[in-house]
Amino acid sequence: MGAMTAQAEKAYRKVINSWAMYDWANSAFVTTVMAAVLPVYYSKVAGANLAPNIATAYWAYTTTIALLIVAFLSPILGAIADFSGIKKKFLAYFAAMGVVATAFLYFVSTGDWLIASLFFIVGNVGFAGSDMFYNSLLPHVAKPEDIDQVSTRGYAFGYLGGGLMLAVNIAMIQLMPDAEIATRLAFVTVAIWWAVFTIPILRNIKEPPATRRAGEHPNPIRAGFQRLRVTFHEIRRYRQLFIFLIAFWVYNDGIGTIIKMATIYGAEVGIGQTTLIGTLLMVQFVGIPFAFGFGWLAKRIGPKKSIYWALGVYTVISIFGYFLAQAWQFWALGFMVGTVQGGAQALSRSLYGSMTPKAKSAEFFGFYGMSSKFAGIAGPLLFAVVGQIAGSSRLSIVSIIIFFAVGGLLLSRVDEAEGIRVAKEEDALAAG
């Protein structure tokens, strides 16, 4: 019996690590393509024939289009996946879409801003779509008592994988004689990395079963829309989940604003490019132990209180950001971001997952994905408006505190025990 128990534990660990490896796989796209390399390449090479402000505007349109496509597709695709039992298949399809589009960035050269935009939109839709189905597998692979630790493990793997790939790509661009060719090859390495490390989750995790109820239309698409109507009709039943989703949208908007605006804010106040890129790399590696640390913390004080701690640190970051003037201060603030970024997002994911019925996990994580995509719209807008009125972005960084305060207040209204109870009742009903 003991041997069987040890064998079962080994199999469970294999499943958990295979799930977490997908964070390792797709984080290379986040660090190299979304954050560090492609935006600069788009401005300097693909958009070389455009005025600098036009290239920046086109890049903004590109990212917005990709965001909107994913935000509106996520809930309906999630409902279809639950109905048909194809969460893992959808993950594979979207990952393949992202991998191919990322590899095709190799063919983008001087003046090719339009095809760069098209490839990035397809790649970003592939990334976000596969990430939604990856998240929806969390309640299926993790035991309820382990869900916080499993989620933080995924973020830790993502920090390490994304950081390593970014370090390799930066070294390629710095050391190879032709920086343009090196950059184009960097996109290919991301595609290969993403494809190879997607294999474990596809091989070692079982497809969750389809969940169908009497009276549902046999056509998956029509059934998907039917489920969405039912979910909206029964929204009061999922009140705790809905309150959490709003809280997450608000405080994640603040987190997303700091992530998106930190580099340009640092450049505005005179921080050099080497410090900006170096800090981005540092955050990746600092995030690894602290993501695990938040998993440990959640086990002792609970995920909600742990998220409060993270929001408190983000508030301190916003306040001290006002006084930013020297490179060492930017390094220090970057270190602070690294201590809480992964923990806040991982525990948000696991808390949401614990209140999500397994029978509707893809659908509900579709709403979660939609919320995370729309988060980051109000924050940068507030940042810009305050900066224009004040004539400096120093007050803008302080204004972000409102998102952490309001988000934390809304989070305090969430009764996670009630949310978990409703999820279990829903699963029992689906099984019966």
pLDDT in the model for residue 219: 64
Reply yes or no on whether the pLDDT at 160 is more than 80: yes
> If we measure between CA atoms, which residue out of 121, 31, 26, 27 comes closest to residue 70?
121
What proportion of the chain, given as a percentage, has pLDDT over 90?
45
Question: Which helix H or strand E contains 314, and what residues bound it?
Answer: helix 303-321
What proportion of the chain, given as a percentage, has pLDDT over 70?
89
Tokens of 262: 């930190």
Q: How confident is the model at residue 429 (pLDDT cuts 50, 70, 90)?
A: confident
Distance CA 211, CA 86 (A): 11
Cβ contact 148:299 at 8 Å: yes
Weakest mean pLDDT among 158-172, 281-295, 323-337, 377-391: 377-391
Cβ contact 173:186 at 8 Å: yes
Give how far Cα 75 sits from Cα of 228, 229, 245, Å. Answer: 8, 11, 14
Distance CA 312, CA 297 (A): 15
Higher pLDDT, 295 or 364: 295
Cβ contact 143:9 at 8 Å: no
Angle at 42 between CA 38 and CA 46, to 5 degrees: 130
The single residue listed with the structure tokens 């305090």 is: 412
> If we measure between CA atoms, which residue out of 117, 114, 122, 105 comes closest to residue 184?
105
Higher pLDDT, 293 or 68: 293
Rounded mean pLDDT, 393-402: 86
The alpha-carbon radius of gyration of the chain (Å, integer) is: 21
pLDDT in the model for residue 1: 41
User: Residue 158: exposed, middle, or buried by beta-carbon count in 10 A (0-12, 13-18, 19+)?
Assistant: buried
> If we measure between CA atoms, which residue out of 164, 149, 163 comes closest to residue 13?
149
Report pLDDT digits (tens) over 191-241. Answer: 999 999 999 999 999 988 776 665 665 666 666 667 667 776 666 778 898
Question: Which helix H or strand E contains 198, and what residues bound it?
Answer: none
Cβ contact 276:263 at 8 Å: yes
Cβ contact 163:32 at 8 Å: no
Rounded mean pLDDT, 53-72: 75
Reply yes or no on whether the pLDDT at 2 is more than 60: no
What is the dotted CATH code of the domain comprising 234-432?
1.20.1250.20
Distance CA 74, CA 64 (A): 15
Domain 17-201, CATH number (from 3.40.720.10, 1.20.1250.20, 3.10.20.30, 3.20.20.70): 1.20.1250.20
Fold match flag (17-201 vs 234-432): yes
Rounded mean pLDDT, 336-351: 91
Rounded mean pLDDT, 77-92: 84
Q: Where are the domains of the chain?
A: 17-201, 234-432
User: Residue 5: exposed, middle, or buried by beta-carbon count in 10 A (0-12, 13-18, 19+)?
Assistant: exposed
Tokens of 93: 């399809």
Tokens of 379: 């924050």
Weakest mean pLDDT among 134-143, 291-300, 408-417, 419-428: 419-428
Rounded mean pLDDT, 395-408: 91
Cβ contact 369:348 at 8 Å: no
The single residue listed with the structure tokens 């109000």 is: 378
Dihedral of CA 198/202/204/209: which sign? positive
Higher pLDDT, 248 or 280: 248
Cβ contact 302:174 at 8 Å: no
Q: How confident is the model at residue 38 (pLDDT cuts 50, 70, 90)?
A: confident
| Full-model pTM | 0.83
What DSSP state is assigned to residue 116?
H
Report pLDDT digits (tens) over 260-306. Answer: 667 667 767 788 767 877 888 888 889 889 988 999 999 899 999 99
Reply yes or no on whether the pLDDT at 82 is more than 70: yes
Reply yes or no on whether the pLDDT at 432 is more than 70: no
Report pLDDT digits (tens) over 305-324. Answer: 999 999 999 999 999 988 98
